[in-house]
Structure 1
Amino acid sequence: MDFLLKDQNGTDIRLSDFKGKKVLLSFHPLAWTSVCSDQMSSLEENRENFAALNTIALGLSVDSLPCKKAWADSLGISGTSLLCDFWPHGDVASQYGVFRDKHGTSERANIILDENGREMFRKIYPIKELPDINEIIERLKNPPALDSTDKDS
């Protein structure tokens, strides 16, 4: 599935533009919360690791563009795209099955897509738990066998 969302700078980001690269979709419930801040900062801090693994990391939440821009600036995030799944509200999170209807936010989840856009890893974390970035890096270094999908919850 393809999508088009704006990042914190108002730049259009289309998933299909990354064909040939792995893509980490790192969903977080809301900006301005401590665990979400740490989660997005870990993406920024590991940009070189992701690049070496032919991977683009994208942070996604239902926050608006002005909110994401102010938040990214406050965190010093300049090289990682933080996407606004604002309108239609949570549409991309819904497409990936990680939208929390009761709360109007996404789950805290990491989904890795392979170079052809196929899901190769999915993990939903407890809302208050910071995802282990090293687990993601290890999964990128050692992907599962072809046609295998890890669906932890």
Structure 2
Amino acid sequence: MTLKVGDKAPAFKLQDQDGRAVSLADYKGKKLLLYFYPKADTSGCTKQACSIRDAEPDLSQAGIAAVGISPDKPDKQKKFDTKYGLGFPLLSDEDNAVAKKYGVWGEKKMYGKTYEGIIRSSFLIDEAGKIVHAWYKVSPADTVPNVKKALG
């Protein structure tokens, strides 16, 4: 199951790197870049997170908040945030329940091995909680350019 433009974004409530509960409802009335990444502090995930951090002034000017979600525990998310000065919520989806709702948990292949994991994806959600854009199997380098292109 994948989400399409116009779909209602699935609700979530997860713990961030500081132990706070963060929900989709917290962003009602705002645009949200919600992205899913496989594992904190790995090369691709670091590249992606840092590009979002670096684009924060542009995103903020466009009225867009950013939130990342991975299966990592909050303490690992905290170390990742601190190490790279990310400054936006990193949510812990340890049981992958939210990833499954967004259609980003599935079969992957690496080095000839097949396994289940996060399919790197990002979503632009509007002020009413609807999916404006959905990018599945996104490259770490393409998250921010995709959003900028979507904004025109």
Distance in 1 (alpha carbons) for counterparts of 2:115 and 2:76: 18
The one-character-per-residue Cα deviations of 1:18-40 (angstroms, maximum 9, x if unpaired) are 11111111111111210101101
Distance (Å, rounded) in 2 between the aligned partners of 1:103 and 1:8: 27
Query: For the residues of structure 1 that align with 2:85 and 2:63, how far apart are their CA atoms?
Result: 23
TM-score, length basis structure 2 = 0.82
2:145 paired residue number: 134
CA distance in 2 between counterparts of 1:67 and 1:105 reads 18
1:115-149: CA deviations, max 9, x gaps?
A: 111111111126xx32421221221x23xxxxxxx
Amino acid at match of 2:19: G
Residue of structure 2 in register with 1:97 after alignment: 103
- Higher deviation after alignment, 98-107 or 42-51: 98-107
1:63 aligns to what SS in structure 2? coil
The answer to whether the 8 Å contact 1:59/1:81 transfers is yes
Question: Are residues 1:108 and 2:145 paired?
Answer: no
Classify the secondary structure of the residue corresponding to 2:103: coil
Runs of 4+ in 1 over 6 A off after TM superposition: none
* TM-score normalized with structure 1 length: 0.82
Unmatched 5+ stretches in structure 2:
1-9, 108-113
In 2, the alpha carbon distance for the partners of 1:131 and 1:114 equals: 23
Q: Distance in 1 between matches of 2:84 and 2:106?
A: 25
Report 1:43-62 matches (<5 A). 43-62=52-71
Offset at residue 84 of structure 1 (A)? 0.8
In structure 1, the partner of 2:12 is 3
Tell me: CA distance 1:17–1:28, structure 2 relative to 1, closer, same or farther (3 Å).
same
35, 45, 48: which one aligns with 2:44: 35
CA distance in 1, matches of 2:128, 2:20: 23
Aligned to 1:121: 133
SS at match of 1:6: strand
Amino acid at match of 2:123: I
Deviations 1:79-132 (A, max 9, x none): 21111111xx11111011111266443111011111111111111126xx3242
> Matches of 1:103 and 1:70 in 2, distance apart?
26
Identity %: 30
Amino acid at match of 1:116: A
Query: Secondary structure, in 3 states, of the residue corresponding to 1:100?
Result: strand
C-alpha distance in structure 2 between counterparts of 1:76 and 1:44, whole Å: 8
RMSD: 1.5
Segments of 5+ residues of structure 1 without an aligned counterpart are: 143-153
Number of residue pairs the alignment of both structures matches:
136
The residue number in structure 2 matching 1:149 is: none
The amino acid across from 1:130 in the alignment is P
Asked which structure has the greater RCO (Cα within 8 Å, sep 6+), the reply is 2
Residues of 1 paired with 2:106 and 2:48: CA distance? 19
**SS of match in other structure, 1:112:** strand
